[in-house]
Structure 1
Amino acid sequence: MAVDQTLRPPQAPETEPVRATAGRLFDEVYRRLTEQPLSLYAAAFLRIGNAFFFLVTLVREFPNRHLIWGPQAPWTPDLARRMFDEIGWFSVFTLSDDPAYFELCYAVLFLVGVLFMLGWRTRVLSVLFAVAVISFYSRNVLMSNGGDNLMALIAVYLVFTACGRRWSLDARRARTHAPARGFREFTVTVLHNCAMFVIMAQMCILYGAAGLYKVQGETWGDGTALHYVLKQDLFRPWPAVSDFLDGHQAFLMIACYLTVLVQVAFPFSVFSKLKYVLLPVLIGMHIGIAVLMALPVFSAVMVLNDAVFLPDRFYRWAAGLVRRSPAPSS
């Protein structure tokens, strides 16, 4: 007896190609995550750069360390401890109110920064560096800014990276020893790659959130935001330059729209070559902030950590260029 074909239930769509594609994608992600540590030169650059800027901050604050960070500061250790009880932060500076203890901590923080920048015993020093950065900036939160907060986050992320594998004393010592194998190396690779991805995600969140907040603002929407920025007395280190730029309204309007567009678009460009077009624009924006708003440290920290998106071949090329440059004649 023949079966009426029209009475058969509809067949489920073919799912094998979809499953195969998903399987290949999972295999590729797993391979890249576990095969070898990626962006080792970028991690080393972040280690050196963040440690360097932390040392610059310690040197810059040294003459006024007692009035801002020490026991004699208006934001006393007791006030800091009360705040830590509410938010869960900590600082080694608040463990004692003894001025001698403060001086010792300040010196130890400087030593940790130097050793971490040089890449000596990086596994241990990365933890100490994270503690040092958090302890310093959380001691007086009234004096911190967005760049300080980013440096504290990056310091924590660097703990999980293999940032001492390149351009370090550890790398020089490792040339005479056999590399680690087996499960230990597998764990280091996975943690490193995940941490580098988190750093990239952190930068994308910063730019994306900043762009979306600007979109909601009326002054950014009508292109007048930079006009008001240039009129702020607190952020006018070069009044003549600010007034000159403020006289070109069309340029400021284009700069407003371009800033918002680049910040919103950047998170969507990190897996394409478009990021190499947007990164110079972002760097130019930060240079403008450093010059026109007198925020050089904030801008420098942002530009420094933008370097996480550059491939290792760029760092190898740059290092080779430095090695081939002629030495200055005496």
Structure 2
Amino acid sequence: MTEEVRLGNGGKAFAGMKATAYSLVDRFSGRRNALVGAALTRIILGAIGLYYYLRDYFHRSFLWGPEGVWPWQNFTGPDDDTFSIYALSKSETWFQLAFHMGAVVALLFMLGWKTRAMTVLHYIFLWSLQQRNPMLLDGGDNATVIVLVFFVFVDSGARFSLDARLRRRKKAQPDAESMRYRIGSLLHHAGLLGAILQVCTIYLVSGMYKVQGERWQNGTALYYILRVGEFGWPGVNHLVYEHATLVVAMSYATVFFQLAFVFLLLKRSLRPFAVTCGVLLHLGIAVYMSGLLTFSLTMIALELLIMGDEHYHRIADRAQRLFNGRGSLRPAADSG
């Protein structure tokens, strides 16, 4: 009798787990979340990619060309086994063609035209450019190319894109019950999870390294960072590093935030707070360490992916009430 009861309880537990699993699959396959955040992330990452091309446009041959500052033999040597479309030919014509194609792809990715295909192409062209001259990398590029792999599966063109505008004109409605839509939704959420885990990994690893450093432990790390002339703005950084108490407080706050970031995300109501702190942190880095501008903007873009659509809708509604404006982040119809 006891054995039957045990098996019966075990069967009920298994049935409960099975029902929960089916419920989760139905929940994440029937609707796509974080579409607003994915769109904002796409726009910023595309703008940063375009910035890479336009920033040194008139010096492109010197920086990335076949006869550029980074020797061709270093780029194509036996020790360099990374793929780059620039390695296919040493022709200046091929370089110019690939470079300008990469800039166009970055623009189309930012605008959201044929978004999924442009995501793949943007990854290929941006990776290729970065491998041509690794001396120009700053950390943000590494995070970008990793996240772009996940973004291939994310429906980042569902909002604020040419694709979404075209669907609205055609009044095209996705069939939320179709197997194609459901599989796409599961891949969308898997891509989101991968990108968010990458952000969490960056913060956690950075925080763990900092907490082991003597200057972070005694609160003086930011003082030395702000005194680095390569990154700082003359006449600006001294406004912070001349105040000892502020430097110590900001040093400790940086470490505590990076270590706590992952745990803040576990509670849905705390996610806007975590994202706000992350954005402020990287805005500070962008201002006081101007050499890391693209890294800061990349991290801000990735953090915007974390908040759900309801958070953005709430912000938009409050902004409407505050400024008595028109328009909304809410779509007229769910474009999937």
Q: Which of residues 82, 89, 92 in structure 1 aligns to 2:85?
A: 92
Contact 1:55–1:110 (CA under 8 A) maintained in structure 2 = yes
Q: Name the counterpart of 1:38.
A: 33
Provide TM-score, normalisation by structure 1: 0.86
User: How many Å separate the matches in 2 of 1:237 and 1:52?
Assistant: 24
Q: Name the residue aligned to 2:333.
A: none
Distance 1:263 1:18, change over 3 A: farther
Give me the whole-angstrom Cα distance separating, in 2, the residues matched to 1:303 and 1:277: 14
Matches within 5 A, 1:35-114: 35-82=30-77, 86=79, 88-114=81-107
CA-CA distance at 1:43 after TM superposition: 1.5
> 1:4 matched to which residue of 2?
none
1:5 matched residue in structure 2 = none
Structure 1, unpaired ranges of 5+? 1-7
Compared with structure 1, are the counterparts of its residues 261 and 19 closer, same or farther at alpha carbon in structure 2 (3 Å cutoff)?
A: farther
Give the structure 2 partner of residue 312 of structure 1.
309
Q: Is the 8 A contact 2:33 2:308 kept in 1?
A: no
One-letter amino acid of the counterpart of residue 167, structure 1: F
Instruction: Answer whether contact 2:271 2:307 (CA < 8 A) is retained.
Output: no
Length, aligned pairs only: 316
- When residues 67 and 274 of structure 1 are mapped into structure 2, their CA distance, relative to the original with a 3 A threshold, is same
Can you give the 5+ residue segments of structure 2 that lack an aligned partner in the other structure? Answer: 328-336
Aligned-partner residue type, residue 209 of structure 2: Y
Q: Is the 8 A contact 2:285 2:293 kept in 1?
A: yes
Tell me what 2:155 maps to: 162
Return the alpha-carbon distance in structure 2 between the equivalents of residues 197 and 284 of structure 1.
23
Q: Does the 8 A contact of 1:286 with 1:302 survive in 2? A: yes
Partner residue in 2 for 1:245: 240
* Distance in 1 of aligned mates of 2:19 and 2:96: 57
Aligned to 2:332: none
Distance 1:37 1:326, change over 3 A: closer
Preserved contact between residue 44 and residue 297 of structure 2 (Cα < 8 Å): no
State which drifts further: 107-116 or 277-286. Answer: 277-286
- Using the TM superposition, name which of 241-250 and 284-293 deviates more: 241-250
**C-alpha distance 93-280 of structure 1, shift in aligned 2 (>3 A):** same
After superposition, residues 1-330 of structure 1 pair within 5 angstroms as 19=14, 22-23=17-18, 25-82=20-77, 86=79, 88-175=81-168, 176=170, 177-179=172-174, 182-238=178-234, 240-272=235-267, 273-294=269-290, 295-316=292-313, 325=325
Q: Secondary structure at the match of 2:237?
A: helix
How many angstroms apart in 2 are the aligned matches of 1:48 and 1:281? 21
Following superposition, the deviation at residue 58 of structure 1 comes to 0.9
Write the deviation string for residues 184-203 of structure 1: whole angstroms up to 9, x where unpaired.
Answer: 22221111110011111110
- AA at the equivalent of 1:120: W
Cα gap change, 1:326/1:276 in structure 2, threshold over 3 Å: closer, same or farther? closer
Q: Larger deviation: 243-252 or 145-154?
A: 243-252
Aligned residues of 1:266 and 1:275 also touching (Cα < 8 A): no
1:234 aligns to what SS in structure 2? coil
- Mark the CA change 1:17 to 1:257 in structure 2 (over 3 Å): closer, same or farther: farther
User: Is the CA contact 1:147–1:301 (under 8 Å) kept in the aligned structure 2?
Assistant: yes
Q: Taking every aligned residue pair, what percent have the same amino acid on both sides?
A: 30
